[in-house]
Chains A and B, each alone.
Chain A
Amino acid sequence: MSTAAAAIPYTVDARPDTGLNNVKLGIWLFLASEVMLFGSLFAGYILLRTGNPAWGAGSELLSIPLATLNTIVLITSSVTMVMSWVAAMERNLKKLRLFMGATVGLGAVFMVVKGFEYAAKFEHHHPPSYSTFMACYFTFTGLHALHVLAGMGVNFYFGFPGAKMMQTDPQQFANRVEVAGLFWHFVDLVWIFLFPVLYLLNFGPPVSH
């Protein structure tokens, strides 16, 4: 059996009747499962909050300025991510390195700010076990931070050690950068939901039934 028969079709080019290549479909399916993961967490938040008359105004314990800064950082990194994809499409290695470096760097800024936030919570004796709100805060943002880290790892690989693929197989490389970008935008989007739900929503003293 030669290699030709073992070749997997549509790894680079789109299949005519579906209009997609394999990785593009794969990442959208993966993101669908991620939507269900974070969706379950948000659903859990709703159930816990509505079911607990003594919920309390938890968001007063959090720092809105720091979260706003982080929101801006992440949105900016989504822009630099798109620019990286443009660079990959243009086969411009220098530009790719610049924008991928910026994306990874902004991700790192986000993580450092997050680290300061976490440290402040422990300093003020508000660990996850303090209340169900703090449990939600640490679990949701922690899981999100793990996604940021994973995205940083992938982006670093494509920006630096893995970028040599641009010479050998530019189209497939551009596809991969695009897919990494879709993941990065998703992680960004999760934060856009987390920010208002955890930091901004504050209904004051809850009404008891």
Chain B
Amino acid sequence: MTDVSSHAHPETAAHGDSGHAHDEHPQHPDHPRPGFWRHYVFSTDHKMIGIQYAFTGLLFLLFGFSLMMLMRWNLAFPGKAIPLLGKLLGDTRMPGGSMLPEFYNQLGAMHGTIMVFLGVVPLAVGGFGNFVVPLQIGAPDMAFPRLNMFSYHAYFWGGVVMLGSFFAPGGAAQGGWTSYPPLSDILPTGQTLWILGMLFLITSSLLGAVNFITTIIQLRAPGLTFWRLPFFVWAQFVTSFLLLLAFPALQAAGIMQLMDRVAKTSFFLPQGLVVSGQVLKVSGGGSPLLWQHLFWFLAHPEVYVLILPAMGIVAEVIANNTRKPLWGYRPLVLSVVSIGALSFVVWAHHMFMTGMGTVMSTFFQTTTMIISIPSVIILTCLILSLWGGSIRFTPPMLFALAFLPMFGIGGLTGLPLGLASPDIHFHDTYYVIAHFHYVVAPGTLFALFAGIYYWYPKATGRYMSTKLGHLHFWPSLLFINGVFMPMFIQGMAGMQRRLYDGGASYTHTAHVLWLHKVISFSAWGLALSQIPFIINFFWSKRRGAPAPANAWDATTIEWAAPSPPPHGNFEVQPVAYRGPYEYSVPGHAGDFFPQSEPGPETVSPIPGTPHPAHA
């Protein structure tokens, strides 16, 4: 990343003729390397912004995971003092080193918020989307570079507000990541900061979504039609629409909750609400259910925001490492688009227990069953893509392969939750936690790791260590199942989630209580398994094996750019001559045929111009 030798300000550069091959020397003397602040902090280059997002997102993932490891201690050993660490956190959180229930609630709410909004989404969409999408579509940058910079900074400050809320009087938000009222309306100040932080994050996502959609529609290279887009770009395209159209609902809900808390309105407070034995002095007449509708109108599409980019990464890695085209490219694309559309009409399957009525429940369980069809099609296509391939077991491929059964478990265990009657039993138990974590942790996170190993050579010009990659992958796979598999058993036994002692006083779950220790030790083992990754991540930047521009003999356009790509990405405007996954083409020398390489086709990809191979 340090080789950026010039910077063309988008404002001044925008008026030149675009798409020209040019013969100037790459080390342009008139354009000195931008200073530290312009290069690393206020960069408008999509690659640097992508790396900023990815790096910040990884740090937040580590932090959110640390919160959970603290909680796991109290679940395994309720009430016991945490050795060493406990005393550091102070008497308002851990008097004498043992955790207060209020602090447990803060950790739980912030773990969910941080993992979803500050960890996975920024890494999957902000990080991979920013870095990879413009390269894969052969564009010099995003459509709006300064807006892109602003999106990152809005995200960053949203994160700062969230972290700062731990130091507010009364601590951070305690109402869960879902922040259900009436509780969230009457919680201490931390909840207000949670809303303000969310408003920053929503702004960031909305502007990012506008930028992604415009970039994908407008900046595709000549010849790169929609049916030639890599599946990853399709996934990001649909994801951006979800962010664009779903997030405003939470924005509206957040504004209403802010009014409830600051201006003492009653959007979410019913009449005659009694708090601590006293009737609350508010006008009343509001509806707690309204929050749930607005929240889940965002948060269900948000689930697909978490999973679709991951599926996109897995598709890229699988096509590359099986050396054959994806099985069913068009069904994959149609499925991802229909998931996007359907994800707007399934939200109330999170609300079967609210008493909203059987007619509503019937409608939403029907749509939920329908949306499982395209999800299964995607997983089936990805599994069938392995058939007959000459598989290379590279580190990215290991993570991508693990994604398939892990996401499968997560998806299939969701079916009983999507049906109203079994959900009565499973609702609010550890079964739910196990289900969605299988989708997001060994599912999405493994895919994101695959993406990091896969595109690291493009970002740095060096491979990550394969040995350390194995050392990261195998223990992670073992321990992450050790964390989440026992939760299915606990949940089916009826163990409730969100209890700070893990249900130690409940007799009906006494026989599965010992599993808490298994889970906690697995979680701490999982943390240790990330050490090889952290070493690999920094060590390979300087010491990794040098990678050529096309590090994996891949076909998509990002591999036609130098590694790391300079400002403006491509030396010559790439042109797409064929689909994205032309591996092992019969009659073609080598087992891959890059998308941007002129071939024997006689028809020019751009109407009205001579074919370069024949010109």
Chain A interface residues toward B at CB < 8 A:
1-12, 15, 18, 20-22, 25-26, 29-30, 32-34, 36-41, 43-44, 47-48, 51-52, 54-55, 127-132, 134-135, 138-139, 143, 169, 172
Contacts and interface: CB of A to CB of B under 8 A. Distances in A.
14 contacts: A1-B28, A3-B12, A6-B8, A6-B13, A8-B10, A9-B19, A22-B143, A25-B213, A26-B144, A33-B248, A40-B253, A41-B252, A132-B266, A135-B267
A52 B22 contact: no
Q: Identify whether the interface residues of B are mostly helix, strand, loop, or mixed.
A: loop
Contacts of A48: 267, 285-287, 290
Interface string B233-257: 0000000000011111101110110
A192 to B, nearest CB: 19
A25 B286 CA distance: 38
A10 B266 CA distance: 48
Contacts of B567: 1, 6
Interface string B115-132: 000000000000000000
A139 B20 CA distance: 51
Given A40-B294, A48-B287, A127-B263, A8 B12 contact: no
Considering the complex of A and B, which 8 residue pairs feature the smallest CB-CB distances, nearest first?
Answer: A6-B568, A135-B265, A40-B252, A37-B248, A6-B8, A36-B248, A3-B8, A5-B568
Interface in B1-38: 5-6, 8, 10, 12-20, 22, 24, 26, 28, 31
Contact of B285 (A21, A29, A54, A172): A54
A36 B245 contact: yes
A198 to B, nearest CB: 15
Interface stretch (B214-222, B312-320, B322-330, B386-394): B214-222
B217 to A, nearest CB: 6
B259 interface: yes
Contacts of B18: 4, 7-9
Contacts of B252: 37-38, 40-41, 44
Given A1-B28, A1-B571, A11 B249 contact: no
Nearest to A21: B218
Contacts of B566: 1
Contacts of B572: 5
Interface string B272-302: 0000000000111111011001100100000
A7 B12 CA distance: 9
A32 B245 contact: yes
Contacts of B253: 40, 44
A7 B267 contact: no
Nearest to B264: A129
Contacts of B573: 5
A44 B210 contact: no
Given A5-B140, A6-B140, A40-B297, A18 B283 contact: no
Contacts of B218: 9-10, 15, 18, 20-22, 25
Contact of A135 (B15, B245, B266, B289): B266
A34 B248 CA distance: 7
B265 A40 contact: no
B207 to A, nearest CB: 8
B209 interface: yes
Nearest to A50: B287
A190 B449 CA distance: 44
B502 to A, nearest CB: 37
The CB with the most chain B CB atoms within 10 A, among A8, A129, A131, is that of: A8
Nearest to B19: A9
Interface of B: 5-6, 8, 10, 12-20, 22, 24, 26, 28, 31, 139-141, 143-145, 206, 209-211, 213-214, 217-219, 244-249, 251-253, 255-256, 259, 263-267, 271, 282-287, 289-290, 293-294, 297, 566-573
A7 B282 contact: no
A8 B142 CA distance: 8
Given A12-B15, A44-B294, A131-B285, A5 B209 contact: no
A29 B213 CA distance: 8
Contact of A29 (B28, B214, B246, B248): B214
B13 A7 contact: yes
B285 A55 contact: yes
B230 to A, nearest CB: 19
Contacts of A21: 218
Contact of A143 (B5, B144, B214, B255): B255
Contacts of A139: 255-256, 259, 265, 267
B206 to A, nearest CB: 5
A7 B264 contact: no
A132 B568 contact: no
The CB with the most chain A CB atoms within 10 A, among B15, B297, B570, is that of: B15
A40 B263 contact: no
Contacts of B259: 128, 135, 138-139
A15 B214 CA distance: 12
A132 B246 CA distance: 25
Contacts of B13: 3-4, 6-8
A49 to B, nearest CB: 10
Given A6-B140, A10-B218, A12-B15, A44 B263 contact: no
Given A8-B141, A29-B209, 10 more contacts: A3-B6, A4-B18, A7-B18, A8-B145, A10-B218, A22-B218, A48-B267, A48-B290, A129-B264, A172-B14
Contacts of A135: 259, 263, 265-267, 283, 286
Nearest to A15: B218
B283 to A, nearest CB: 5
Nearest to A53: B285
Given A9-B18, A40-B253, A127-B263, A47 B287 contact: yes
A11 B14 contact: yes
B266 A1 contact: no
B14 A33 contact: no
Contact of A2 (B6, B145, B286): B6
Given A22-B143, A129-B282, A129-B283, A40 B248 contact: yes
B14 A51 contact: no
Contacts of A132: 265-267, 283-286
